[in-house]
Amino acid sequence: MEVTVGTAALALALLALPVLYERSGSFRFFCKMGFYNGWILLLALVAIPLCALRGRDVENMKIIRGLMQHVKHLYGIRMAVRGAQHFPPRQPYVVVSNHQSSLDLLGMMEVLPDRCVPIAKRELLYMGAVGVVCWLGGIIFIDRKRTHDAISVMAEAAHTMLSQDVRVWVFPEGTRNHSGSMLPFKRGAFHLAVQAQVPVVPIVISSYQHFYSKQERRFTAGQCVIQVLPPLPTRGLGPADVPALTERVRAAMLEAFEALSAELCPTAPPPAPQ
């Protein structure tokens, strides 16, 4: 008897889920984000044996990129890349881009150049299968709480970029930023570019505000533009030039970000100044 009551309650709860999904925006948001993480975890399980054949190798980023590119379709996110001609064709460089949420992974995989690895917080290493895939893809891990260690990892990266023809992708805000604008930039990416004497390629991912908001628990279909800006050379620059270079790049990115926001969601109020 007890089993029957339990089964009936479970069946009722399962039947209620679609109604809840239909009626509650928050429930929908959590389902979509839960599926996003779960799906990526599953893709990571597929990627591990494929990447393990090579061992830890930046070429594995092609497998990761290939496996991730359909995810935008599951969410109805239309992505357009502008300015791809700005990528220097055959040389190492440092990509810097704004960082709004873990959805940035989709934009990153849309434009990720060959032999390009992100710099990530070391906590990602402990995300089970995702951590293993990140390691196999040659992602560079830094401990943000230990500036000195992070700086030496990046100095080593400058050397690797040149000796092994590797490009590096950095989120110079240093953390996710949902504010609808950009945080002040950390200087690591620009020191890295100056140390390796390679160009900085800024990439702006347009605001998600019109289709995704963590605070408002809103996640619908929408459009996202990924704009590659002209590279800035660093040849001849030294450490003293890093602050000015950082500000120049941030100003160019902020200008492009605001222009994209005005174009894609003209009714939204402008973000508060940072």
Ligand X SMILES: CCCCCCCCCCCCCCCC(=O)SCCNC(=O)CCNC(=O)[C@H](O)C(C)(C)COP(=O)(O)OP(=O)(O)OC[C@H]1O[C@@H](n2cnc3c(N)ncnc32)[C@H](O)[C@@H]1OP(=O)(O)O
- State which amino acid sits at residue 149: D
**What mask of x and - would describe binding to ligand X in positions 72 to 111, judged by CB under 6 A?**
---------------------------x-----x------
Which of these segments, 8-16, 29-37, 72-80, 182-190, binds ligand X (CB under 6 A)?
A: 182-190
Question: Does 40 participate in binding ligand X (rule CB under 6 A)?
Answer: yes
Q: Would you say 133 or 182 has its CB closer to ligand X?
A: 133
Taking the complex as a whole, the smallest distance from the CB of residue 35 to ligand UBL amounts, in Å, to: 11
Question: Does 217 participate in binding ligand X (rule CB under 6 A)?
Answer: no
37 binds, among ligand UBL, ligand X, none (CB under 5 to 8 A by kind): ligand UBL
CB-CB contact of 111 with 203 (8 Å): yes
Question: Does 136 participate in binding ligand X (rule CB under 6 A)?
Answer: no
CB-CB contact of 249 with 187 (8 Å): no
Helices 25-52 and 128-136, packing angle to 10 deg: 40
Beta bridge partners of 226: 81, 205
150 binds, among ligand UBL, ligand X, none (CB under 5 to 8 A by kind): ligand X
119 binds, among ligand X, ligand UBL, none (CB under 5 to 8 A by kind): ligand X
CA distances from 97 to 55, 83, 100, 212, 223 (A): 28, 14, 10, 19, 18
**What mask of x and - would describe binding to ligand UBL in positions 122 to 141, judged by CB under 6 A?**
-----xx-x-----------
Question: Does 179 participate in binding ligand UBL (rule CB under 6 A)?
Answer: no
CA-closest candidate to residue 250, choices 97, 75, 80, 93: 97
Q: Is the four-CA dihedral 92, 97, 101, 107 of positive or negative sign?
A: negative
Residues that bind ligand X (CB under 6 A): 40, 43-44, 47, 64, 67-68, 99, 105, 118-121, 130, 133-134, 139, 142, 144, 147, 150-151, 154, 170-172, 174-175, 186-189, 191-192
